[in-house]
Amino acid sequence: MGRPTGVTIIAVLMAIAGVVMIVAGISTIAFPPFIPTTIQSQNLPAGMFTMMLGGIAAGSGTFMLALGIAGLVISYGHFKGKGWAWTAAVVLSIIGIVMSVVAIVTGNFGSVIIDGFILYYLYRRHLKAYFGKAMSAPAADAAAA
């Protein structure tokens, strides 16, 4: 069975998103040294606000870097039709939908629609078969009983 066109599109988009996340992660990790030391908060000791902001930037950058690498690995799995890539894409789509609920507050509805479509698409019978996730006939008959 050949790779469905939709899987190729998702794999390419995941690879692009992975590269963007890697660049963003590296940029965010590199950001803390450039935080102006003049930034202060009224409620924190001198330098504490800058240190906290740097820690938050480094932590979120590391998270984005990890997501970017995961995106590239999952993209590769989609190109090769690996079952684990289907599972990972489903999990990431669900996480994306949950995270998009926060984005909806800011008026960004696009990400929820895209993640929802990917989740719907990955559950199509021919897609599950491509990734080796389709139930065999005897197992389907047993489940129906």
Q: Is residue 61 domain-resident?
A: yes
Which of 17-31, 37-51, 63-77 has the least mean pLDDT?
37-51
Q: Is residue 145 domain-resident?
A: no
Q: Is residue 141 domain-resident?
A: no
Q: Is residue 32 domain-resident?
A: yes
pLDDT score for 12:
93
pLDDT score for 45:
67
Query: Angle at Cα 56 formed by Cα 32 and Cα 87, nearest 5°?
Result: 120
Q: Is residue 76 domain-resident?
A: yes
Q: Is residue 139 domain-resident?
A: no
Domain count, the chain: 1
Q: Is 135 helix (H, G, I), strand (E, B) or coil?
A: coil
Q: Is residue 111 domain-resident?
A: yes
Q: Is residue 86 domain-resident?
A: yes
pLDDT tens for each residue of 88-135? 988 888 887 887 777 777 776 667 788 888 889 988 988 888 888 876
CA distance 17 to 19: 5
Which two tokens mark 100?
Answer: 């998009």
pLDDT score for 16:
93
Which range of residues forms the domain containing residue 75? 5-134
